[in-house]
Structure 1
Amino acid sequence: MNPAQIDAYLRRLGVQHPASPTDDVLRELHLRHLRTVPFENLSIPLGEEIVLEENRLLDKVVGAGRGGFCYELNGLFGALLTALGFDVALLAARVYGDEGRTGIPYDHLALRVRTVDGGTWLADVGFGTHSHYPLAFEERGEQKDPGGTFRVVASGPDAAEASGAGAGEATDLDVVRNGRPEYRLEVRPRVLGDFVAGAWWHSTSPASHFTQSLVCSRLTDDGGRVTLSGRGLTVTGVDGTRDVRELTTDEEVLAAYRERFGIELGVVPTVREPA
């Protein structure tokens, strides 16, 4: 990522170029990303190719003012952090489903970030509703966040023993929100190309929730959330109150994308029927 691209990305987030890759800078960038770059899967119904390459992601997120899902958002955010001097590792995860089963390999991409302050953090701007700030990667107790109460814990008591690792070296971690596991995180660093198959599966498989529904969502400045799912617009207040409205015309839907998310579309995305 060259200096001009870094500056353009930071302008998209509405922040100045940081002087140093500190804990506080990471927290600010994380929050600003969640507020300005929506979590969305619109490329799938619009028939747009999802390419996990840095310049293509910059064209989409920074150039076109779009969002994306985990591979795109965390992949590009990780590249920005690296360019700003943070020590970043891309980590693979499997998302827990309703019945406690985990999804496919490379189901999700999250980031381990180290700062000059000595902090090690779990950053994730691509999971939809999640923590507003990075989570302390090595902390095993409860972590309070505006998005809930989180824990990052070893995935099982036998994890270290089964892998031949020493005490405290569990191979996987569970990220838990409000008592419910969200995803199982591997600690081995990956590269963005490792996630291509997962992105392809999620954008093409009838079994993927991304091919079955539409979502465009971001944090609001007051800590709430605005979500457009199909024609349903939901504004959730910081106190949990929800205002749900059904948009009746294409013009209303396109205006909501433009005014609520800064996304200019020529057509209304719709879920495509399975072939």
Structure 2
Amino acid sequence: MTSAQIDAYLRRLGSERPRQPTSEALRALHLSHLRAVPFENLSVHLGEEITLEEQRLLTKVTEGRRGGFCYELNGAFGTLLAALGYEVELLAGRVYGDEGRLGIPYDHLALRVRTVEGDTWLADVGFGAHSHYPLACAEGGEQDDPGGRFQVVEAGPDAAGVRGADLDVLWDGKPQYRLEARPRVLGDFAAGAWWHSTSPTSHFTRSLVCSRLTEDGGRITLSGRKLKTTAVDGTQEIRELEEDEEVLTVYREHFGIELSCVPTVRNPDLDG
């Protein structure tokens, strides 16, 4: 990244450039990212190409003022963190689904980040509703976060019988995803991104979502025409938007996304 690109990204986050790559600065950047850059899959339904190249991702987040899903958000955020002096590794994950089944390989992308103090954190700004702050990788025990109670634990022996090869991330005691400890490169996730953006069995092609953390710690989510606002105490207000202009206004005013037309679900017969 150039210095100008770093400044543009930080302006998008509403953040100042940290003097050093510290744990405190990482926490602040992580929270700002969740508030400013939405988790969204609009490209899948607008027919926009999803290319996992650092410059394309940076342009989408900064110049395009868009969000994305895990590969895009954590891919871009990892590039920013590395440019700011953090040691960043991309980790491949598989998301837990129904009945505890794991998803496809390269189902998810998360970041392992080391700071100037020598701390190691799991940073993830691309999983939708999740922890507000990075999680301590070496903690093992429960970690209280505004988003809930999390754990990063050893997943047990892998298929080859090796212990410690994978990590499970738990939220309020429920496994969310399993991470491989081996670092990857961004191009490794191309097949996962392609599958999620094209497969009729992927939930990303069957539903529309645009969601971000609010300043007070709540969440605002637009799923198709359904606008859901979740307060810090968990209470929700749900409203169905009838007119196209209402939908476009919500995208613009609540997510900073300018669209010329309302996206429609790619696989509507399978939606829901």
Q: TM-score scaled by structure 1? A: 0.96
Counterpart-to-counterpart distance in 2, 1:179 and 1:246? 33
Matched, 1:63 2:57: no
Gaps of 5+ in 2: none
**Displacement, 1:273?**
3.4
Deviations 1:2-54 (Å, cap 9, x if unpaired)? 11000000000001111000000000000000000000000000000001111
1:81 lines up with 2:81 in the alignment? yes
Identical counterparts, % of pairs: 72
Q: Secondary structure at the match of 1:51?
A: coil
Note if contact 1:44-1:211 (Cα within 8 Å) is conserved in structure 2: yes
User: What does 1:177-196 correspond to in 2, within 5 Å?
Assistant: 177-196=171-190
1:19 aligns with 2:19: yes
Letter in 2 for 1:35: R
Q: Give structure 1 stretches of 5+ with no counterpart.
A: 164-168
Amino acid at match of 1:8: A
| Aligned-pair CA distance for 1:122 | 0.2
Q: Which runs of 4+ in 1 moved over 3 A?
A: 158-161
User: Which AA in structure 1 matches 2:222?
Assistant: L
Match of 1:105, SS? coil
Report the residue type matching 1:145 in the other structure.
Answer: D
Cα distance in structure 1, aligned partners of 2:177 and 2:219? 21
Q: Does structure 2 conserve the Cα–Cα contact (< 8 Å) formed by 1:160 and 1:171?
A: no
Question: Equivalent residues in 2 for 1:69-218 (5 A)?
Answer: 69-156=69-156, 158-159=157-158, 162-163=161-162, 170-218=164-212
Q: Which residue of 2 aligns with 1:227?
A: 221
Distance 1:133 1:274 in 2: 35
- Cα distance in 1, alignment partners of residues 70 and 143 from structure 2: 22
Count of aligned positions: 269
Task: Give 3-state SS (helix, strand or coil) of 2:99's partner.
Answer: coil
C-alpha deviation, 1:159, in angstroms: 4.3
- Quick one: which amino acid aligns to residue 89 of structure 1? E
Partner residue in 2 for 1:166: none
Instruction: Give how far 1:161 is off.
Output: 7.9
Contact 2:205–2:267 (CA under 8 A) maintained in structure 1:
no
Give the TM-score normalised by the residue count of structure 2. Answer: 0.97
Per the alignment, do residues 88 and 106 of structure 1 end up closer, same or farther by CA in structure 2, a change over 3 Å counting? same
RMSD of the alignment, in Å?
1.3
CA deviation map 1:111-144 (0-9, x unaligned) = 0000001110000000001000000001110000
How far does residue 272 in structure 1 lie from its aligned partner after superposition? Answer: 2.0
Residues 41 and 161 of structure 1, relative CA distance in 2, 3 Å threshold: closer
> Which whole-Å CA distance do the structure 1 matches of 2:164 and 2:266 have between them?
41
Q: Deviation per CA, 1:184-238, whole angstroms, max 9, x where unpaired?
A: 0001000000000000000000110000000000000000000000000000000
Separation of aligned partners in 2, 1:160 and 1:216: 36
CA distance in 1, matches of 2:72, 2:177: 18
TM superposition shift of 1:160: 9.9
Match of 1:240 among 223, 234, 240: 234
Deviations 1:59-103 (CA, angstroms, capped at 9, x unpaired)? 111101000000000001000000000000000000000210000
The residue identity in structure 2 corresponding to 1:216 is: C
CA distance in 1, matches of 2:83, 2:43: 26
- Kept after mapping to 1: 8 A contact 2:94/2:177: yes
Match for residue 263 of structure 1? 257
Match of 2:35 in 1: 35
